[in-house]
Structure 1
Amino acid sequence: MGNLKDLATNEVSRTDKTDYCGNMVYENEILSKILTDDGYITLNGTAPTYHYYLKDHQGNNRVVTYWNRSQWIAEQVNHYYPFGGLFAEGTTTSSK
């Protein structure tokens, strides 16, 4: 514990680079995400997927959802304690 070891070049398996330019996110110099006030857009090739935040009365993101061309999918669901702490976070494939 406490000893640092320098890694040789052959010991590094992968290096990722993320750049933030305004509301655009580039990963390894490829546009991967566009941030908006209502959520974000991910790009898979040239096909965009729109992810929306559903907020509660205090502005907390309760649900992240997206349309998969046939139904709404709840991607992430958050629950909060009355004092504002995160109670539970989960992912689901529900179409509710």
Structure 2
Amino acid sequence: MKRISAFVIAAALTAPVFAADDLCDVNLQKLADNSAITTTLGSPLKEQVEEHVKAAKEAKAAGNLEECGSHAEQALQMLKGPSGDTNTDAG
């Protein structure tokens, strides 16, 4: 019974780490998939998105997966724009 309890506790404690890793990686992948859209953005939005992507990659390299996910999420929100659709200047 102690083994099962220890396993459950260990799994519960590591779940947030995996969630942060997944959020970081998933959001960075979404940004990579939308790289063509990023190139069509106007200033200053393009620079702001690029800054968040850079900060996310730096945070990931430093092992701060929560900060990585946060910056990547902010960049994705900027791409979506206020309407919730992907924001482009192409029309």
TM value normalised by structure 1: 0.22
Q: Which has the larger radius of gyration?
A: 1
Larger strand percent:
1
Larger helix percent:
2
RCO (CA 8 Å, sep 6+): is it higher in 1 or 2? 2
TM value normalised by structure 2: 0.23
